[in-house]
Amino acid sequence: MKLTVVGFWGGYPGAGEATTGYLLQHEGFNLLIDCGSAVLSQLQYYIAPTDLDAVIVSHYHNDHVADIGPLHFARLVQSYLHDDPLPVLPIYGHQEAPKSFKQLDFHNIAQAVPYDIQKPLDIGPFHFDFIKTKHPVPCAAMRITDGSSVLVFTADTAYFNDLVPFAQDADLLISECNFYKGQDGAKAGHMTSEEAGQLAEKSEAKQLLLTHLPHYGEHQNLVVEATDVYHGTIALAASGWTWEF
């Protein structure tokens, strides 16, 4: 299982970069987790949009789905340029925001496929479990396994205790970190660096990746603050950062 960070900013993309997007690959299967602002542009450094086998989105804030529309049109244009028709792209989303869910559909190019946050899901070689997060809109954290390794993605959330067993023993914990230690991220539905570190420590995650980063301050301080409470390996998300297990 290989993960590549396509985008990592919270809210809006930094210059030449993107908001949330992760490319997960295993056994030739290409899955995109979230498709935020500028993700389509960045994705093309790693694979062509026509090589995607599936997309799954955690929620419908723009920094997680803004490039779904451009992805639709990329595959539409490419469908005219290929002799063989492109397969319809499944885009998985929850139905707790029905109007937003329907926008994942696009003619015969992409199909909106519902998932239930309360139930497990298999996509290609990956098995998913979900938990509803603490965020202003319905949002799903994801626990993903290929049968041998486990990746946990918090998506957007304030800290809450049920995240600990959900993330237990993850080989990689991708934790949002939109606030610095001492700030109050809970009102906005986000975590601080200290809370991300606490989650990693309590869940005994083997490695912590800090993502959904703020547009102010020194990001290296996020690592220092998380290190105060977590004794494993910590990395800052960056374009092209990869993890393979």
Kindly report, residue by residue over 124-181, the tens digit of the pLDDT.
999 999 999 999 999 999 999 999 999 999 999 999 999 999 999 999 999 999 999 9
- Cβ atoms within 10 A of the Cβ of 63, count? 23
Q: Mean pLDDT over all residues of the chain? A: 97
Alpha helices (runs of H) in the chain, residue ranges in sequence order:
39-43, 62-65, 68-81, 98-102, 163-166, 193-203, 219-227
The span from the CA of 108 to the CA of 86, in Å, is: 9
Q: Are 113 and 102 in contact (CB under 8 A)?
A: no
pTM for this predicted structure: 0.97
pLDDT digits (tens, 9 = 90+) for 39-51: 999 999 999 999 9
Alpha helices (runs of H) in 82-110, residue ranges in sequence order:
98-102
Q: Residue 131, Cα to own-chain centre: how many angstroms?
A: 14
User: Which residues fall within 8 angstroms of residue 220, CB to CB, at 6 or more apart?
Assistant: 236
pLDDT digits (tens, 9 = 90+) for 73-123: 999 999 999 888 899 999 999 999 999 999 999 999 999 999 999 999 999
Q: Is the dihedral of CA 92, 97, 102, 104 positive or negative?
A: negative
**Beta strand pairing call for 121-123 and 54-56:** unpaired
Bridge partner list, 210: 175, 236
- Cβ atoms within 10 A of the Cβ of 210, count? 26
- Cβ atoms within 10 A of the Cβ of 82, count? 10
Q: Two tokens at 144?
A: 């993903």
